[in-house]
């Protein structure tokens, strides 16, 4: 495999970036916990009449804005936990994905393999890209 990318539609947070890696036996574990709040209005005593606040990051460091995020109450915090286990079994790498938290979040896992192998158990995209889709079950690249 050349590379792997995982992304979700969880508040447009983008691609998965691991918070770290742990080794357990012959398995490597990658993980990320995302927490996204809903920002409530700025309390009246912290508002300025000009509406001009210092440029600051959101508390999740996703973006910057002049909206005093660090002073706004938060509510309805949503979470998404992603775990990836990579295990070498007799010269084969097995990947297991676990995505928990908020339900109904679409997830895309992209695997890019070296040229020249054979991919089975998938459906061709039907165009000249050479892309395939695995909608359920198991796929094998040899």
**Assigned token pair, 121:** 């158990």
What pLDDT does residue 81 have?
A: 97
What pLDDT does residue 64 have?
A: 86
Q: What is the model's pTM?
A: 0.77
Q: What is the mean pLDDT of each run of 10 residues along the chain (142 residues)?
A: 91 89 95 92 93 85 85 94 95 91 92 90 90 89 88
Place of tokens 């990836």: 84
**Assigned token pair, 27:** 């398995």
Element (DSSP H or E) covering residue 104: none
Question: Rounded to whole angstroms, how far apart are CA atoms 86 and 70?
Answer: 37
Query: In DSSP terms, which residues pair with 8 in a beta bridge?
Result: 107
Cα Rg, the chain, nearest whole Å: 21
13 dihedral zone (left: phi>0; alpha: psi -120 to 50; beta): alpha
What pLDDT does residue 41 have?
A: 94
What pLDDT does residue 133 have?
A: 92
């Amino acid at each position: 495999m050349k590379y792997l990318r995982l992304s979700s539609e969880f508040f447009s947070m983008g691609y998965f970036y691991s918070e770290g890696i742990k080794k357990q036996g012959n398995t490597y574990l990658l993980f990320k916990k995302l927490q996204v709040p809903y920002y409530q209005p700025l309390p009246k005593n912290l508002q300025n009449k000009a509406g001009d606040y210092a440029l600051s990051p959101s508390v999740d460091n996703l973006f910057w804005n002049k909206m005093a995020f660090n002073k706004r109450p938060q509510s309805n915090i949503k979470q998404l936990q992603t775990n990836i286990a990579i295990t070498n079994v007799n010269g084969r790498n097995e990947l297991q994905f676990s995505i928990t938290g908020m339900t109904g979040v679409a997830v895309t896992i992209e695997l890019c393999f070296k040229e020249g192998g054979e991919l089975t158990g998938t459906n061709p995209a039907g165009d000249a890209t050479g892309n395939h889709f695995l909608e359920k079950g198991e796929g094998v690249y040899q």
